[in-house]
Structure 1
Amino acid sequence: MTHTLPRLLGYTISVRSVIEETPDAKSIVLAVPHELRDKFGYRPGQFLTVRVPSDLTGSVARCYSLASCPHTDGDLKVTIKRTDGGYGSNWLCDNVVAGSQLHVLPPSGNFTPADLGGDLVLFAGGSGITPMMSIIKGVLATSTGNAALFYANREPSSIIFDAQLRELTETHSDRLTVHHWLESESGLPTSADIAEFAQANPGEAFLCGPAPFMRAVRETLLEAGIDRTRIHAEEFVSLTGDPFVPAAPLTDTGNASNVVVRLDGRTHALAWPASANLVDVLLDAGIDAPFSCREGDCGSCMCTLTAGTVDPGRTEALDPDDIADGYILACQARPTSPELEVDF
């Protein structure tokens, strides 16, 4: 039975099915109930944060991209590839079956095209294909845009969604290009290989995969003259805290600023204590704030400071252009002026 756990943030969702994609990767399909459909609405490229039980710490939190697409799929699906020594991925692959229950936060993340109608060039390595599948299906289902995918794997058996990619390519041969790069046959892709593909398929660039792969692709695209604002990378980090545990109730209201928050079409006027971050202030007021890691790493709580000043805290998830444009992380920022305004 699906229900909200009173002691935890997030929701418990039943697993409808588990699909073996490759010998070391599985997809978990979630049966989101009708009453939570709006809350679990998402955009292609976003991810779920999953709570994984642990005998050592009680639980760990892990983020997994959604391979499903809101424009083509009724259920939400995350795809998980085992990693050497990866507790979360191995536990989920070993223990989750149809009928299991997973505790998750609603979809989040900024790795999503602002316009599905534009041409996209996608670079995926290994399990980095997961958000790309969602984006590709979104482009093909909702627009006349083109998508070109450069997909790197070690060997043929490690290609996740191989059959689905072939089917999509056959159905949309005029709009979808898929180039498989196999390390077992061609070694690691060089800058020349990456540049050649990008030049043949111009468009907004999206990168997801192992850090060395994304670093090589990003450097090559920048050297090729592609504007950095048109290069988007999905980078997951291991969460050290527990985003499912709510912060303690706010009791220190001294030295509080006044903040006006515009979120989901509503305007909220709140007291923002100097010792609290904005996510905790919103959650304490019963307002659904967008967040995931609550550590300043994922960018899910990114918002715009339109008036006032803050101590930004950790800003690793923001690039210099974001900061210059007034973006802050709501899980990190603390007020430094008496009056503030924030737009999500």
Structure 2
Amino acid sequence: MAAPRHGAFHSLTVAAVDRLTDDSVALTLSVPAELREEYRHAPGQHLAMRRQGAERGEVRRTYSICSPAPAAGGHGPAELRVGVRLVEGGEFSTYAHKEVTPGDVLDVMVPAGRFVLDPAAAPEGGHYAAIVGGSGITPLLSIVSTLLAARPDARFCLVRSDRTAASTMFLEEVADLKDRYPERFQLVTVLSREEQEAGLPSGRLDEERLTGLLPALLPVGSVAGWFLCGPYGLVQGAERALRGLGVDRDRIHEEIFHVDNAPAPAPAAASVSSSHSRVTARLDGRSGTWPVQDGESLLDAVLRNRADAPYACKGGVCGTCRAFVVRGEVRMDRNYALEEHETEAGFVLACQSHPESEEVEIDFDR
């Protein structure tokens, strides 16, 4: 079977809408038999969904898959489940909470994302850990459940932070994992705005607190991979704590859900050549060359000519528009999705990239 096209959308029927908390729901999507291979996913990947908004035209949002990944060599998934937290003023999340009901049909992109853990690649007796905040639990639910089921020798430590017990997403699902794998799954819960009867005191998981907490929980240096997911401040503080504890950068994997408190990109120096640049883009085996307008990103230049170019957030967060720079020079404004080794290898986020040379060639197929 041919590989799924980048950015391909299909219509999937909503099988169930489950209320998780007052401000979050889980959507279960039915995948017809003829599309199941296209929706085969790695644990930790996400789905982009789109709809026509009332005011801003097409709206796209990404939501992590929380259901376990299908086993290698088996059939693709018959269902996919995602968690959606209500965002104030969020057009799609409000729609999901107030309007979506079983039987509705949603436009859903094929799975994407590289915040993943491949159980087959895990070392023997591999010990993994995650630090998550709020809705950052969603991809880890898939990662943990898939890994522990596929690798009886693996262990996982999950440190999760939520505001209150009532606001905690997938509380029962995580508790079920703890019951199923009591010797191999370690769960540590911290509430920032509510005291617990047992466990850690309330408060934020910042760099200082994590620096003291993590060595008391597990052998930090022997953890095969750390997965950080949630708001920008939590992820950045956790990364600094881990680096301060001697963890190599290549063992730290990050996915940021909210960047409201992230520093703004520094203004770039004007580029004489950028206003006369052309971009050549390869996508699904076909290439084209088009002019880039003043101030336009490479993604927007491609989208004017190829509506099927892959993207979701356009904010440098989801990584759906990842592309390889074949030739030319580009400038990225923001990057909260690509790992350091990816940028060093020549990958960029097309939504955040602007030409710094007259000719730029990018490849979405790499």
What is the aligned partner in structure 2 of residue 270 from structure 1?
287
Contact persistence 1:71–1:142 (CA under 8 A): no
Please list the CA deviations of residues 128-157 of structure 1 after superposition, one character each: whole Å capped at 9, or x if unmatched: 110100101121122232211011222322
Aligned to 1:111: 115
**2:267 alignment partner in structure 1:** none
For residues 250-309 of structure 1, give each alpha carbon's deviation from its aligned partner in whole angstroms, at most 9, with x where no partner exists.
Answer: xxxx997877x596xxxx4634345394797699679x765433554422232444x533
Residues 1:329 and 1:122: Cα distance change in structure 2 (over 3 Å): same
User: How far off its partner does 1:221 sit?
Assistant: 1.1
Q: Tell me the amino acid that sits aligned with residue 224 of structure 2.
A: G
CA contact (8 A) 2:312 2:320 kept: yes
Which residue matches 2:158? 149
Any idea what SS the aligned residue of 1:90 has? helix
The residue type equivalent to 2:343 in the other structure is I
Higher alpha-carbon deviation: 141-150 or 196-205: 196-205
**Alignment correspondent of 2:55:** 56
TM-score (norm 1): 0.77
Give the counterpart letter for 1:187 in structure 2.
Answer: S
| 1:13, distance to aligned residue in structure 2 (A) | 1.7
Distance change (3 Å), C-alpha of 1:29 and 1:92? same
The whole-number CA distance in structure 2 between the counterparts of 1:111 and 1:289 is: 21
Question: Is 1:137 paired with 2:145?
Answer: yes
What is the rounded CA distance, in whole Å, between the counterparts of 2:279 and 2:97 in structure 1? Answer: 46
Change over 3 Å in CA distance of 1:134–1:320 after alignment to 2 = closer
Q: CA RMSD in A?
A: 3.5
Q: How does 1:20-35 map to 2 (within 5 A)?
A: 20-35=19-34
Mapping of residues 182-201 of structure 1, within 5 Å: 182-183=191-192, 184-185=194-195, 186-188=201-203, 189=205, 190-191=209-210, 192-197=212-217, 199=219
Stretch moving more, 17-26 or 329-338: 329-338
Aligned residues: 316
Q: For residues 222-270 of structure 1, what are the alpha-carbon distances to aligned partners after superposition, in whole Å with 9 as ceiling and x for unaligned?
A: 21111222212212358xxxxxxxxxxxxxxx997877x596xxxx463
Residue from 166, 179, 187 that aligns with 2:188: 179
| Aligned-residue identity in percent | 27
Residue among 100, 106, 128 paired with 2:104: 100
- The CA distance in 1 between the partners of 2:39 and 2:257, in whole Å, is 20
Amino acid at match of 1:109: G
Letter in 1 for 2:138: T
Q: Secondary structure at the match of 2:47?
A: strand
Aligned partner of residue 225 in structure 1, secondary structure: coil
**Does the C-alpha gap of structure 1 residues 130 and 319 become closer, same or farther in structure 2, counting only changes over 3 Å?**
closer
C-alpha separation in 1, matches of 2:361 and 2:90: 42
Paired with 1:234 and 1:330, the residues of 2 have a C-alpha distance of 18
Residue 133 of structure 2 corresponds to 125
- Gap regions ≥5 residues in structure 1: 1-7, 239-253
Which residue pairs with 2:44 in the alignment? 45
Task: Compute the displacement of 1:127 (Å).
Answer: 1.4
The residue that corresponds to 1:158 in the other structure is 167
Gaps of 5+ in 2: 1-6, 72-76, 196-200, 260-275
Structure-2 change in CA distance of 1:197 and 1:212 (3 Å):
farther
Q: Is contact 1:279-1:289 (8 Å) kept?
A: no
For residue 71 of structure 1, report the CA deviation from its aligned partner.
Answer: 2.3
User: Per the alignment, in what secondary structure is the counterpart of residue 69 of structure 2?
Assistant: coil
Within-5 A mapping of 1:327-338: 327-331=347-351, 332=353
Range with greater deviation from structure 2 (273-282 or 144-153): 273-282
Taking a change above 3 Å as real, the CA distance of residues 300 and 285 of structure 1, as seen in their structure-2 partners, is closer
Q: 1:198 to 1:87 in 2, by over 3 A?
A: farther
TM, length-normalised to structure 2: 0.73
Deviations 1:12-55 (CA, angstroms, capped at 9, x unpaired): 22101111222322100011222222222221111112224533
Distance 1:283 1:55 in 2: 22
